[in-house]
């Protein structure tokens, strides 16, 4: 039970890394965080300035896995029915026919999610946490595997609606690509001189194999001491004076699952403290809320999480 390089997963994951790395150059950590979230069965929020490859990353993953991909451009006038679908009345026979919305796919790109109203944003909550959607009183199971990649611009606030804590808590990880290094950016210019690398990507795995890998992730061993380590980290966020809102139990579970997925991605059937430490800033920082004093004092949530990691005793 667990991960075996003979299972074929090792070569599949290497191919996925290569595919995404050829499109998003110089960002191996970001690629690994996205794949970790995908293997853990969670959704990802990508927060960054325009033009750094947020949409391209989502498209590259969809092409690499040969899954159905839909993109929704979130705008202030977008309605929940535009995402979930609705019933269409037929005057011919007097009946209603349900027409599925774009959420019925494997990978959904919610572009600029913070531009839509809170009512429309909340249409994704059930899908992200339970892989289903209740529409007009009927529950519809979404196809698996299912992943939401949401993007937002952190520096543009006009006409935006900040995501509420309840929605942020549904994302397993917050990802920021950042600007590429100058030499990498020069390579990008040459790589796209004639065509975009995305055009040449080939599928390297199937939806069925992804589901099998997600199931294998849950069999990755987590020692009791590591589980207590995760709980200790989370409890520190709840007692730290700089936070008025600490990490929820859902956050503990998602860090646990992310550590399993990180171990699986590295070809191990057991987790290490390093798995927890690498993923904790990505998994926990967006779940906490700074006090007004800390926020206006220039303190960053991720920096506090990294500080707490240094303070909590690491299990042997």
Q: Does residue 255 sit in the same domain as residue 194?
A: no
Residues 166-224 pLDDT 10s: 888 899 999 887 777 788 778 777 777 676 777 778 888 888 999 999 999 999 999 99
* Closest to 257 measured CA to CA, from 43, 23, 22: 43
Q: Does residue 229 sit in the same domain as residue 211?
A: no
Q: Does residue 195 sit in the same domain as residue 316?
A: no
Span between the terminal Cα atoms of the chain, in Å: 24
* Closest to 288 measured CA to CA, from 186, 125, 146, 168: 168
pLDDT at res. 71: 92
Q: Does residue 108 sit in the same domain as residue 246?
A: no
Q: Is 98 a residue whose pLDDT tops 50?
A: yes
Main-chain dihedrals φ then ψ at residue 289, nearest 5 degrees: -130, 125
Of 175, 192, 219, which residue constitutes the final position of a domain? Answer: 219
User: How many structural domains comprise the chain?
Assistant: 2
Q: Does residue 60 sit in the same domain as residue 143?
A: yes
Q: How far apart are CA 8 and CA 211, in angstroms?
A: 14
Q: Does residue 215 sit in the same domain as residue 227?
A: no
Q: How far apart are CA 225 and CA 256, in angstroms?
A: 12
* Closest to 43 measured CA to CA, from 102, 109, 123: 109
* 8 Å CB contact between 125 and 104: no
Q: Does residue 105 sit in the same domain as residue 18?
A: yes
Which residues face 290 on adjacent strands? 243
* Closest to 54 measured CA to CA, from 76, 80, 73: 73
Q: Is 242 a residue whose pLDDT tops 80?
A: yes
CATH of residue 166's domain is 3.40.50.300
Q: Does residue 231 sit in the same domain as residue 283?
A: yes
Q: Does residue 227 sit in the same domain as residue 204?
A: no
* Alpha carbon separation from 212 to 208, 219, 281 (Å, rounded): 6, 11, 27
Average pLDDT in the 296-305 region? 89
Q: Is 3 a residue whose pLDDT tops 70?
A: no
Q: Does residue 177 sit in the same domain as residue 231?
A: no
DSSP-assigned letters across all residues of the chain: ----GGGSHHHHHHHHHHHHHHHSTT-HHHHHHHHHHHHHT-EEEEE--TTSSHHHHHHHHHHHHT--EEEEE--TT--HHHHHEEEEEETTTTEEEEEE-TTSSSEEEEETGGGS-HHHHGGGHHHHHHSEEEETTEEEEPPSS-EEEEEE-TT--TT--PPPHHHHTTEEEEE---PPPHHHHHHHHHHTSSS-GGGG----S-HHHHHHHHHHHTTSB--HHHHHHHHHHHHHHHH-TTEEE---HHHHHHHHHHHHHHHHHTT-SB--HHHHHHHHHHHHGGG-EE-HHHHHTT--HHHHHHHHHHHSPPP-
Q: Does residue 273 sit in the same domain as residue 316?
A: yes
Q: Is 307 a residue whose pLDDT tops 80?
A: yes
Q: Is 2 a residue whose pLDDT tops 50?
A: no
pLDDT at res. 85: 87
Residues 66-82 pLDDT 10s: 888 999 999 889 988 88
Domain hosting residue 276, numbered range: 220-316
Q: Does residue 213 sit in the same domain as residue 262?
A: no
pLDDT at res. 159: 63
Q: How far apart are CA 314 and CA 273, in angstroms?
A: 7
The whole-chain average pLDDT of the chain stands at 86
pLDDT at res. 52: 66
CATH of residue 239's domain is 1.10.8.80
Of 219, 240, 270, which residue constitutes the final position of a domain? Answer: 219
Of 219, 252, 285, which residue constitutes the final position of a domain? Answer: 219
Residues 137-170 pLDDT 10s: 888 888 889 999 998 877 666 667 778 888 888 9
């Amino acid at each position: 039970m667990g991960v075996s390089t003979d299972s074929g997963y090792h070569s599949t994951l290497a191919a996925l890394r290569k595919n995404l790395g050829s499109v998003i150059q110089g960002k191996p950590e970001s690629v690994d965080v996205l794949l970790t979230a995908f293997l853990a069965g969670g959704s990802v929020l990508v927060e960054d300035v325009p033009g750094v490859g947020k949409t391209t990353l989502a498209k590259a993953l969809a092409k690499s896995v040969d899954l159905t991909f839909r993109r929704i451009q979130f705008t202030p006038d977008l309605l929940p029915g535009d995402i979930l679908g609705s019933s269409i009345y037929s005057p011919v026979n007097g009946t209603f026919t349900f027409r599925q919305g774009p959420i019925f796919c494997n990978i959904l790109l919610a572009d600029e999610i913070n531009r839509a109203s809170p009512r429309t944003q909340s249409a994704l909550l059930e899908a992200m946490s339970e892989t289903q959607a209740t529409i007009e009183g009927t529950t519809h199971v979404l196809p698996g595997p299912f992943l939401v990649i949401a993007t937002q611009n952190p520096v543009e606030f006009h006409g935006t609606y900040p995501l509420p804590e309840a929605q942020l808590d549904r994302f397993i990880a917050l990802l920021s690509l950042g600007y590429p290094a100058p030499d990498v950016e020069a390579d990008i210019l040459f790589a796209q001189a004639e065509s975009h690398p995305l055009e040449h990507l080939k599928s390297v795995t199937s939806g069925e194999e992804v589901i099998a890998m997600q199931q294998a992730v849950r069999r990755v061993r987590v020692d009791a001491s590591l589980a207590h380590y995760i709980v200790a980290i989370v409890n520190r966020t709840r007692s730290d004076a700089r936070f008025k809102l600490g990490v929820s139990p859902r956050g503990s579970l998602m860090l646990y699952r992310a550590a399993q997925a990180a171990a699986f991605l590295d070809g191990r059937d057991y987790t290490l403290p390093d798995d927890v430490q690498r993923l904790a800033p990505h998994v926990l920082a967006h779940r906490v809320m700074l006090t007004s004093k800390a926020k206006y004092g220039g303190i960053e949530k991720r920096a506090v999480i990294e500080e707490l990691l240094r303070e909590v005793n690491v299990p042997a």
